[in-house]
Amino acid sequence: METKQLGNTGVYVSTIGLGAMPMSLSNRPPESQSINVIQRALELGVTFIDTADSYCRDETDKHHNERLIHKALQSYNGDTSNVMVATKGGLMRPNGSWTRNGNPNHLRETIRISFEALGGNKPIDLWQYHAPDPDYTIEESLTPVKEAVTAGIIRFVGVSNFSVEQIKRARDVVDIVSVQNQYNPWQRQPEFDGVLEYCETEGLTFLPWSPFGGSRRHENLQDIPAIAQLAKTKGVSVYSIVLAWLLAKSPCILPIPGASKISSIEDSVRAVDLQLSEQEVQIIDRETAS
C-alpha cells in the first residue's frame, strides 16, 4: 500500500483509508462481520480509519463505531502501532436524525468519551470538528479542542464541512492538519469554492466524504458513461475508477470510502494501482460538471 503524509505532520498513512460509518448505522451488519472488514483492511495495508462519535443508530447508541474499531484493533493479530483512527465530534443523533452541537461543554465531554471509547491509553490520533454550529463561534467551539491537545488527549486536529474562511478562523485557535468535506462526481464544490486549492497550498490533507455519492446514489455511478466505459475498458469496478479519479485530482486527497463488506474494501484498495491519464480525468470532469 502506498502512503502519503497527513498534512505536514511527518506522519504517513495509507493512500486510501477506510470509512467505518456503514458499520454502525441502523442497517448495520453483524458485529463479527464488521470486525472482519476492519481487520481485512489492516491486512491490505490500510492504516487510516475514519469514524465519529455520531456513527450510531441514535443518541442511546453514541460512540458505537469508535468502540467497534477499538475492539477490532485490540483483537487483531498483526501490528497496529501505525494505524491512525480519525474520529469526529459535534453532531447529535436524536431519534436517528442529524443535528449540530458546537456547545463547548458538549464537545469537551464527547472528546473525553471518544478518548475512552478508543482505548484511553493514548491520545486520539485525529479529532475533527464535524460541522460548524451557527449557535456558537468557531473560536468558542474549538477552545475545548485546544485544551484537549494541550492535555495530551488529542494528537492532531481536523475540521469537516468548513469553508476556506472558517478553516482560517479554526487555524487561529488550534493547528489544523486536515479538512473533510463532501466530494464526489455529483458534488464537486471543493474544486470551485477554494477549499481544495487552499488545502494544497497550505499542506492540509483533504478527506472527501461520501466519495461514491452515499447510499442513495452510489449505484448510479454506472449511469455516468465515462466512468462506466473506463471501468469496462480497464476491467475494474466503477468504484475503483472514482477513487482513482479523486486521487488524480490532487496530491492532498486521501479518499475514505465506506465499507461494510470485505469485498468492498478489497475493491477500494485496488484503486491505488490504477492510474488515470489526464485525458481520462478530463472526460470524467466534463460529464460530471454541474
Predicted local confidence at residue 217, as pLDDT = 73
Fold of 3-216+253-261: TIM Barrel (3.20.20)
Helical ranges in 120-181 per DSSP H: 138-150, 164-171
Mean pLDDT over all residues of the chain? Answer: 96
Predicted local confidence at residue 290, as pLDDT = 59
Tens-place pLDDT, residues 125-170: 999 999 999 999 999 999 999 999 999 999 999 999 999 999 999 9
Catalytic one of 55, 136, 198, 239: 55
- Catalytic, 183? Answer no
What SS3 state is found at 187?
A: strand
Tell me the pLDDT band of 273, cut-offs 50, 70 and 90. Answer: very high
Q: What b/e readout covers 160-174, taking b as 16+ CB neighbours within 10 angstroms?
A: bbbbbebbebbeebb
Q: Model's pTM, two decimal places?
A: 0.96
Predicted local confidence at residue 96, as pLDDT = 94
- Please check whether residue 43 is in contact with residue 78, taking contact to mean a CB–CB distance below 8 angstroms: yes
In this predicted structure, the answer to whether residue 62 has a pLDDT above a threshold of 80 is yes
Q: In which element (H, E) is residue 84 found?
A: strand 84-89
Query: What is the rounded average pLDDT of the residues 81-98?
Result: 97
What is the residue type of 140? E
